Amino acid sequence: MSYSTEIDSKGFTIINNVYSNIEIDKLISLIENITENETENATFRKSQDLFAIRQFHKEIPETLPFIFNENLKNIIESTFGKDYFITKSIYFDKPEKSNWFVAYHQDLTISVNRKIELDNFVNWTIKQNQFAVQPPKEILENNFTIRIHIDKTTKDNGALKVINNSHSKGILRIENLKIEKETICEVEKGGIMIMKPLLFHASNKTTNNERRRVIHIEFSKKELPDGLEWSEKTVLENLTANQIL
C-alpha cells in the first residue's frame, strides 16, 4: 500500500528511518543551543509537563535544511505532489515524568496574519499576538501534518492514539463519532508520522520515564481569500544541509 493510499483510507501513515542518527543529533544540538539561552521568548511555553516552541521553523530556521532532507522531500512530493508550503510548526518536548495528556480532538484551526470577517471562517482567537481561526472544511481536508520523532515514541511515553478513518467524517464532536478502530502510533527515533488534521487523535500520560520530543509541521497549498494570509507561511525551496554546515 502506498503512503497516499494509506493516508486516504486511514488518515495517517508511519514511516521509519527517514533521518539518520547524525541528522537527529544535529537537530537536537540546534534546538538546545536556542533553548538553553532564551527562556523569555513569547513563543516558548514551559511547564513541568511540557516544553513547547510555537512558530518553530521561524524561531530556529537553521533546522530547516536538516528537517527537509532528501528523504522527506521525496516523501512529500511522491505522496502529495508539489506546491505545498509550511503553515505552522511546533516543537514539543514531553519530559520523562510528564503527566500531560490530551483528549481526543481534531486540529481545526490555522494561524493567520489578521482577523477578517469572512463566510465560513469561524471561532476566531488571538494568543500572544497570533490570530487563529477555523477555516472551511475544504481547506482542512487539503492540508496534512508531519510529525518528526526525535525520540522513540511508544504507548508508554505519549505516542498518539488515533481513530482510524475519522478524518473522512467531517468536523464533528467525538461523542458523535462511531469508533470502529483505534491505533496507537508508535514511531522509532528518526521516523515520522503523517496525518490529516481532521483525524481524531489523543495522547496519554508518560509512564516509562522516557522523554518524547516531536517536531510538528503543518502544510497546505491553498491560498486564503480576500487578503487573509497564512501567518507562518514558508515556501520550501532548495533547502540543503550544505547551506549551514
Least confident of 82-96, 98-112, 184-198, 226-240: 226-240
pLDDT tens sequence across 18-66: 999 999 999 999 998 887 765 556 566 565 555 888 999 999 999 999 9
Assign 241 a pLDDT band (cuts: 50, 70, 90): very low
Helix locations, the chain, DSSP H: 3-10, 21-35, 56-59, 64-67, 70-80, 137-142
Name residues whose C-beta falls within 8 Å of residue 91's C-beta, 6 or more positions apart in sequence: 31, 52, 53, 56, 60, 213, 214, 215, 216
pLDDT, tens digit, 9 for 90 and up, residues 52-63:
889 999 999 999
The three cell numbers locating residue 29: 544540538
CATH number, domain 3-243: 2.60.120.620
pLDDT at 205: 87
Note the pLDDT of residue 40. 59
Kindly tell me if the per-residue pLDDT of 239 is higher than 60.
no
How much is the pTM?
Answer: 0.92
Q: Are 13 and 3 in contact (CB under 8 A)?
A: yes
Segment 66-99, tens digit of pLDDT: 999 999 999 999 999 999 999 999 998 887 777 7
